[in-house]
Amino acid sequence: MNIIKYNLLIITPDQLRGDYLSCYGNKKIETKNIDCLSKEGVTFDNCYCASPLCGPSRISFATSTYFSEHNHRNYWSTISPDVPNLVTSMKKEGYKTGMFGKNHLFTYERLNEVWDSLDEICLGNYDGHPDYKHSFSSFTLDSDHPFNITGKLTTETISFMEKSTKPFIAWVNYQDPHPAFTCPTPYDSIFDPKQIELPVKYKTYSKDGQPARNEVWRVHSEMNLCSDDDMKNAIAHYMGQIRYVDDSVGRMLEYLKESGKDKNTIILFFSDHGELLGDYNMTHKLPVFYDCLTKIPVIIKHPEDLGRGERFAGLAEEVDLAPTLLDMLDVNIPPTMVGKSWFEEIKASNYKGKKNIICEAGGGAPTCKVPIDGLKLVAPFPPTSFGCGAMIREGDYKLTIYADDRCELYDLKEDPNELNNLYGISQYQDVKNELTLSLMKRLLSVKVRDVGIEWQYESYMHDVRFEPLENCVLGKI
């Protein structure tokens, strides 16, 4: 067993858009505590989740495997703790484990095998609250309401860290800022809806240039009933939820500093995916791949100030997070993990990024292409939106291929709002073809560990070697 040097604190808000943090450039909201974490740590400006759905994303994070490898495709997916993962890898090395908030990861019947301390709470979409009537509903949450859990989870996480007599992993999984768009006083009134500017792409989009699933979800969620004031209220409450999270982050940072545990605790702050929040006249999320859903905030603070204040613009993937943390903690990385550790690049303040990233979603039901008369949904459940899709971003281009829906191609440099679908335009045929081939290669890749010039396939004990794919010539492999 290795000598344990550091604790690990993971902070995961649910459905948090990176562009709604001031350290990521938002000028309307002050997230001073998360900003402090960014100033003291390393911030990744272009990290993408493995899937824009809760369960699949969290499984990809913990196991460091891609969506199409673990094949858990829906919101409610869970994995056996026997699958190699970040948490049990640390527990085997002697770490005390604590989790507070929503699970959306391990099989519920076996949670007590994974966690030494546990308060599992998942509120869904605040289902059952009488004011949650539409996907865009926003309202004040009574301070004593059982759904008001962000402060409670923070207190429990601090208590766990305080009582731990041996190194720990503490993971707090906030419900906020997940819909419904609701928060208690004073967070419900910090932001004046009248001062909210609606997104450029709130109404400026081409219905016929987007996947059919988008319009189906707009109809099923009754977005025709959402007024501009309704949307502004939703955004204001979403921002209030984020401030609630930010204050809670501040409480944990203050505890670590006062206790001296900031000197031996690694902190990871990341979100599982983003939120549409009015973009393209939709709320919530669904299996689509716009940056508002797939680009996630990622901040890592190392107690030895490695990479302090650095910002890395290179493309990064959620699957790399677990290997990076295990590397920092000097815990063996399971050979089933496909991600690459960023630790050496962080130490050198020189993260160059990946050539491309992929993101995947959907499965279990075909795409519903025509709205069903009379069907009204407050969240994007089947049959609305579960057709399979996969996205690749390389350079400034992003390509999404759907199994049974309209495909998409965007030039993010010229069209950062992803409004002009280039997929069927002849002058972009070469770009489409190149990215389609790159996406196919990524999806067909086998688990390999980079050992220099050659790659070693570690899943077997045989002495088998593979050339890097880019060195292969078609017709000779």
Asked if 437 and 450 sit in the same domain, the reply is: no
Average pLDDT over residues 428-457: 72
Task: Kindly tell me if the per-residue pLDDT of 457 is higher than 70.
Answer: no
CA geometry: angle 210, 215, 218, nearest 5 deg: 135
Longest dimension (CA), the chain: 67
pLDDT at 372: 96
CB 261 within 8 A of CB 267: no
Asked if 115 and 190 sit in the same domain, the reply is: yes
Q: Is residue 417 part of a domain?
A: yes
DSSP 231-242: HHHHHHHHHHHH
Asked if 307 and 409 sit in the same domain, the reply is: no
pLDDT tens sequence across 300-331? 999 999 999 999 999 999 999 999 999 999 99
pLDDT tens sequence across 411-420? 999 999 999 9
- The domain that contains 160 carries what CATH number? 3.40.720.10
Q: Which two tokens stand for residue 391?
A: 């996205």
Q: Is residue 1 part of a domain?
A: no
Question: Domain ends where: 354, 388, 415?
Answer: 354
- The domain that contains 410 carries what CATH number? 3.30.1120.10
Asked if 263 and 368 sit in the same domain, the reply is: no
Asked if 298 and 371 sit in the same domain, the reply is: no
Asked if 190 and 322 sit in the same domain, the reply is: yes
Q: Among 51-65, 292-306, 388-402, 439-453, which is the least confidently predicted range? A: 439-453
Q: Report the mean per-residue pLDDT for the chain.
A: 91
pLDDT category of residue 1 using cuts at 50, 70 and 90: low
Average pLDDT over residues 188-202: 97
CB 107 within 8 A of CB 87: no
367 phi and psi angles, rounded to 5 deg:
-70, 130
Asked if 131 and 207 sit in the same domain, the reply is: yes
CB 408 within 8 A of CB 210: yes
Question: Domain ends where: 323, 338, 354?
Answer: 354
Amino acid at 325: L
Asked if 118 and 160 sit in the same domain, the reply is: yes
404 phi and psi angles, rounded to 5 deg:
-145, 40
pLDDT exceeding 90 applies to what percent of the chain? 86
Q: Is residue 219 part of a domain?
A: yes
Question: Domain ends where: 354, 384, 408?
Answer: 354
pLDDT tens sequence across 145-172? 999 999 999 999 999 999 999 999 999 9
* Full residue range of the structural domain in which residue 347 is found: 7-354
Asked if 470 and 419 sit in the same domain, the reply is: no
Cα 200 from Cα 276, distance rounded (Å): 13
Q: Which two tokens stand for residue 228?
A: 């501009």
Q: Is residue 2 part of a domain?
A: no
Asked if 271 and 301 sit in the same domain, the reply is: yes
Asked if 131 and 119 sit in the same domain, the reply is: yes
Asked if 250 and 370 sit in the same domain, the reply is: no
Burial of 25 (0-12, 13-18, 19+ CB in 10 A): exposed
Q: Is residue 244 part of a domain?
A: yes
Q: Please count the residues of the chain.
A: 477
CA geometry: angle 208, 209, 212, nearest 5 deg: 65
CB 49 within 8 A of CB 57: yes
Domain total of the chain: 3
The one-character DSSP state at 145 is: S
Cα 225 from Cα 217, distance rounded (Å): 13
Instruction: Please give the model's pTM, rounded to 2 decimal places.
Output: 0.92
